Structure 1
Amino acid sequence: MAVPVADPLTECDARVVNQDASPRLHVVTGNAVAPLADAERPALPENPVMADLMRRAEALDARAAAGTTPRAMGPAGLLGSLIGLTVLLTVLGRQPWQLPGRDGGGVSDVPQSLVSFLLISVLLCLCGARLVRPARLLPTVPAVRLWWALVLGSAAVSVAAALSLASFSTAAERPADLLVRCLVPVVPAVLAGLLASTAGRAVRVRLALGTGLVTVPLTGLGWALLSSAPVSTATFADVLAVTGIAGAAPLAVAVAFVAADRHTPGLLRFHRAPSEA
């Protein structure tokens, strides 16, 4: 059944719908919606109370964000963490661990339990190194990555040195490369200082101490493992003394070197502006 369609209309002329009305379809054409321009929109009345509340909320958000941002630890706090880690690993290293042997001038037969203990010790030292927060001291991502590469490399060398010292516990000979072992804390600390050679003195000191948070405790751990042998007569005080000579003192020399103000161009200018590159 076809539905009759009326002529196009521009105004609604539909009658009141009731049960007796016949069906009728109205088609309205020519309608269009034009959006108002921003300049033609009616301006809402500004509420000074709401504006003041918004400003206060923004200020509170900024203050909360600043309060929750972790602060970088200063040199005194880093030094305290270094001493605490060194004492802790020295105490743990003097426990009766199964120690490796020496064969052909190298380390052999490393027990799995000792490897696990060394890995846990490295993780503790790396957690201590995070207190430096290099991302807040170095302005570029490559510089931060290079600093962490120095820390990881020094951790690997320190673990190898600790295993080497532990292997002498079952041998008749004693380690004679003390001078070389003293370079383990020095080299990464100096390189970390050169990484930020054009930065402030406090930044260079903190970056250098950050590498010491890994090298010095692991140095003490190596001497503690050497003293844990049944035939050893070294005491806890002796271990701390030799750790100070082979680890802490070289690190202090390196920190003093990087803290000195030298008006020389930086060797690694990672924070140079792109326009200067």
Structure 2
Amino acid sequence: MVGPACRLDAFMVGHSKVYDVCIAFGYATSTADIEGEIIERAPCSEQLLQRSFATELLQSFVGVQQQQPPAYSAISVGGTRAYVLARKGVDVCIPKRTIEVYSARLLGCEQRIFSGFPHAVTTWNVRFHVSKGTYIRTLAQDIGKRAGCCAFAAELTRVRAGSIKLDQCVPLEQLSSINADKPIPGMLDPVQALQFPVIELSSQQLTRVLCGNELLLHTCSVIDCDSHGKPAPESAHAAAGASESVCVSAGMSVLASAHASVPRYYSLVAYTNGARVLQAVYKGADDNPYLRAQCVFAQGVRCT
């Protein structure tokens, strides 16, 4: 996000995410990834290389759960990042948080050799679809414990954040070499990236919006909704018989109680000089007929 669109960052962080991780068994490290020191070793059962065993164990992690964030994390503890304290040898205590694993799909099991490890290591390649705030390193640790040994995240790639996929991304090196007179490669449509329901504004509504005034929802025409925060069809949630515990709020997945008022965000667009422009982000709720301004752009953010 650049220019005025930087203000949209706050509306992107609540989306679910998809990761590909290589879980290595038989070792635990201080940071729960391959960068840390080996702090524990444990023998691995041969069944770890059986796809049926791996698939069944992974499915036991699908659903809502309490997770202990790692000490080596960017979470603030008393005004200091946890990883800073951990590197100083301070015993960091971070409260557990509620997270949800929407799906855990096994991509493969194999033996691999990693630099610094004396023997070939049993690994699982797994694709996780998870809620905001989920630590994949912690999932790897917990999976190792449930498998009867220990484990860490040897490799990790985020392949999707909300609606934005890895193949839509542009390397920083490519951006640094562009000509200012040419279009920026990889430009994304802000409305598509937000994945909120879309409201096209009349001229009267646009005047109100640019002043930050409220809008009555029933006077607006909601023309589009594609919530990427919702668990993908591949999720084993329903198959496992688990109750739905995620409230999909116009593209933002939030863990909520059954009685919570769910916030709903909307992208407000208008046509200016023939161009489709994002003029504002408004928020409503189940129990309130009014939409209220969260972010208003005086000149708008142009859609691609």
Is the TM value for this pair above 0.5? no
Flag the structure with larger Rg: 1
Which TM-score bucket, shorter chain as reference? under 0.3
Provide the TM-score with structure 2 as the length reference: 0.24
Structure (1 or 2) with the greater helix fraction = 1
Structure (1 or 2) with the greater strand fraction = 2
Provide the TM-score with structure 1 as the length reference: 0.26
